[in-house]
Amino acid sequence: MDLPPVGLGTMGIEDEAVVRTAIDCGYRHLDTAQIYDNESTVGAGIAAADTDRADLTVATKLWIDALEATAVRPATEASLDRLGLDAVDLLYVHRPRGDYDPEATLPAVEAVREAGLTAHVGLSNFDPDQLVDAREFLDKIAAHQVEFHPLFWRESLLTDAQKHDYPLVAYAPLAGGRVFEEPTILNIAAQHETTPAAVSIAWVTSYENVVTIPKASSQSHLEANLAAADLELTDAEIARIEAIEREEELFPE
């Protein structure tokens, strides 16, 4: 998939006006999920925007209680109904947990794709071994969404995305705000006369095959996050951020 460097993560967004504003600002990749309980909000924002639906990439995710083979299609149809769309562009398996069984779940998701309810199938929060298993049952992994930010990232998942040439979609690129207190990020931001948020997003998107979906609500932050992808960090600055001692992930299993 050809995804823009910065999209909109919508977890916690409950106002359709935010989604509409994001689209008006230039966001073309919108990410939601069943567990966010805001697909209707995202759909309303899409409907209210002036941008053609065909110009948007809309993604949602099947939660772990919707991964039994017979549940996949009705759960997908329920998401589409909430979104007010005939199809999404990208449908993820949110986590390989709960009712997930690769031999049953993934063929059922492929069947949904073949029926035209989604254009692409993605995975989220899989480990390298689970990606290997998934390839046995998917025509193609279109994207893999994972936690990826200066304080937590897994090189093995980046390597897999680059080796198999699919986008790694980085969520929580600001580490839940913790990057605002990280000395290395603060120092680099000061040198560029920009914000820690911009440096973090620029670092994430500096990697081949990596895009990101930060959440923002205000127009100023939406615009700043989009612009951050244009910030060019030096190789030395990227290496300094890579050298930050990694912490535990924000969203463990």
Question: Which tokens is 228 given?
Answer: 């951050």
Greatest Cα pair distance in the chain: 55
| Residue 178: φ, ψ to 5° | -70, -25
Residues 251 and 148: their CA atoms lie apart, in Å, by 11
Q: Which amino acid is at 77?
A: E
List the beta bridge partners of residue 62: 93
Residues 97 and 172: their CA atoms lie apart, in Å, by 21
Half-sphere exposure of 248 (CA within 13 A, CB side): 3
Residues 222 and 237: their CA atoms lie apart, in Å, by 24
Question: Which tokens is 83 given?
Answer: 């979104």
Cross-sheet strand order for the sheet of 88-93: 8-9, 29-31, 57-62, 88-93, 118-124, 144-147, 168-171, 210-212
Q: Using alpha carbons, list the distances in angstroms from residue 2 to 103, 135, 142.
A: 28, 20, 10
Q: Are 15 and 24 in contact (CB under 8 A)?
A: no
Residue 92 bears catalytic tag: no
Selected catalytic residue, list 27, 36, 92, 100: 36
Residues 109 and 154: their CA atoms lie apart, in Å, by 26
Q: Which amino acid is at 121?
A: V
Residues 42 and 80: their CA atoms lie apart, in Å, by 11
Catalytic residues: 36
